[in-house]
Amino acid sequence: MPEIEWNRLSAESLRDLAERDAIVLLPVASTEQHGPHLPTGVDDILCSAVCLRTAQIVAAGRPIVVAPTLWCGLADHHVAFGGTFSLSLATYHAVLRDLCRSILGAGFGRVVMVNGHGGNMAALTVLVGELTRELEAPIATVTYFMEAQAEAAAILDDQPGVMHACEAETSLMMALAPDLVDRARLGEARGPDFDMLASLTPTLKRFHRFKEITGSGVVGDARRASAEKGAALLEAYANGLAERLLAGEPWG
Ligand SMILES: [Zn+2]
């Protein structure tokens, strides 16, 4: 298995990967409250893990490397719970521009910003166009839990996909970092359902802070989370994304 982590490779090895037209996955996550039972690093941990698993699968068919994870994103809606970092949109744009510019400067031509945080989705949809124009390179983006949605729905019992600190995220954490899940608090780990896609559609709405939506900091229901579900979700998301990259998407 070739090394796939940018930080574990020498500059010379990375120049070689760039010459071989390797895909670069740039995990873009967040550090924010995740209810009473999960650590603030959930998005960072999960997004990194999905990217590494995806790259392991893709590496059998074409060169790929996973850049270090951007641990901070747009999370102002979580600040009132504590434990949260957030960037303003202008800063986020500037950080992404410079990270992508660095990857291009290292000789790579295929950058995919793999997102693991709902609050980044709207911004990334806009910024991917801005970055493509500014850097004159075909930057791509995907939110990992928008892949394999049917498979994820079949794995989960109480919700159709990722919400927040929910059955899906808690299961993934139980599979990947079980010592960071406080099982004694699982009974409190529930809130109203939340439709991520509906929240992004331009029907009449205003900005809601998470405090207005949920007292626990959770949306969805984590009480029936399990490591088995988490392992299956990780494979589903990674396989979904890997399949598309191996098929040549999104550059075709
Ligand atoms: Zn998040």
- pLDDT one-digit tens code per residue, 102-132: 999 999 999 999 999 999 999 999 999 999 9
Expressed in angstroms and rounded, the spacing between residue 241 Cα and the centre of ligand 1 is: 19
- What secondary structure letter does DSSP report for 201? S
> Does 181 reside within a domain?
yes
Expressed in angstroms and rounded, the spacing between residue 119 Cα and the centre of ligand 1 is: 6
Expressed in angstroms and rounded, the spacing between residue 15 Cα and the centre of ligand 1 is: 33
> Does 199 reside within a domain?
yes
Q: Cα(204)–Cα(227) distance, rounded to whole angstroms?
A: 39
- pLDDT one-digit tens code per residue, 79-90: 999 999 999 999
CA 236 to chain CA mean position, Å: 14
pLDDT given for residue 15 in this prediction? 98
Q: How many domains does the structure of the chain reveal?
A: 1
pLDDT given for residue 152 in this prediction? 97
Expressed in angstroms and rounded, the spacing between residue 29 Cα and the centre of ligand 1 is: 7
Expressed in angstroms and rounded, the spacing between residue 73 Cα and the centre of ligand 1 is: 9
> Does 236 reside within a domain?
yes
Higher-confidence position of 244 and 203: 244
> Does 26 reside within a domain?
yes
pLDDT given for residue 139 in this prediction? 96
Expressed in angstroms and rounded, the spacing between residue 231 Cα and the centre of ligand 1 is: 19
Expressed in angstroms and rounded, the spacing between residue 18 Cα and the centre of ligand 1 is: 31
Domain region containing 123: 6-243
Expressed in angstroms and rounded, the spacing between residue 44 Cα and the centre of ligand 1 is: 9
pLDDT given for residue 201 in this prediction? 85
Contact 42, 71 (CB under 8 A): no
pLDDT given for residue 197 in this prediction? 82
> Does 239 reside within a domain?
yes
Q: Residue 57: which pLDDT band, with cuts at 50, 70 and 90?
A: very high
Q: Cα(38)–Cα(33) distance, rounded to whole angstroms?
A: 8
- Whether 164 shows a pLDDT value over 90: the answer reads yes
pLDDT given for residue 182 in this prediction? 98
- pLDDT one-digit tens code per residue, 210-229: 999 999 999 999 999 999 99
Closest Cα to residue 87, out of 104, 73, 101? 73
pLDDT given for residue 199 in this prediction? 83
Expressed in angstroms and rounded, the spacing between residue 62 Cα and the centre of ligand 1 is: 30
CATH number, domain with residue 147 = 3.40.50.10310
Q: Rounded to the nearest 10 degrees, what angle do helices 42-58 and 227-246 cross at?
A: 50
> Does 249 reside within a domain?
no
Q: What is the largest CA-CA distance in the chain?
A: 52
Expressed in angstroms and rounded, the spacing between residue 154 Cα and the centre of ligand 1 is: 22
